Amino acid sequence: MATNPNINLDRNAAGAPWGVRRRIITLTLIFCALVVAYITFKGIDSRTAETIVQSAFALAGAVIGSYCFSAVWEDRAKINSLDINTGNITNINPTNMIDNPDKK
C-alpha cells in the first residue's frame, strides 16, 4: 500500500487531547508497577496478593492494548475521511455525513 504524503496523521491535528491520554496511560502503568513492586518487595504471599498482581498485569495489558487500538482507529478514521479528489481530510459531523466546506 503506497503512502500519500498529503495525509497528516498527526495525533494533535484533529484536536484530540493525546497529551492528556498519554498522561493517564503513564500514570496507570506506574500505578500497576508500584502495586506489583510493593507486593513483591514486601513479600506478601497470599491468594489475595496473587489476585491483585494478576489484576494489575491485566489492567496494564488492557491499557496498552486500548492505547494502540485507539491510535490505529483514529488513524484509520483519518485515512477513510480523505477526500480523494482534493487530497484533503474532511470533517465528519455527528450524523456521519461528510462535511466538506468547499462543496456548496
Per-residue model confidence as pLDDT tens digits over 29-61: 999 999 999 999 999 999 999 999 999 999 999
State the average pLDDT over residues 98-102: 53
- The answer to whether residue 45 is domain-embedded is yes
Q: Is residue 65 included in any domain, yes or no?
A: yes
Question: In which domain, by residue range, is 30 found?
Answer: 18-99
For residue 83, what pLDDT is reported? 59
Q: How much is the pTM?
A: 0.59
Distance of CA 85 to the CA centre of its chain: 30
Mean pLDDT of 77-101: 59
Question: Considering the domain boundaries, does residue 86 fall inside one?
Answer: yes
How many structural domains comprise the chain? 1
Residue 92 lies in a domain: yes
* Under 8 Å between Cβ of 93 and 12: no
In a domain, 12, yes or no: no
Does 6 map to a domain? no
71 domain-assigned: yes
Mean pLDDT of 48-77: 88
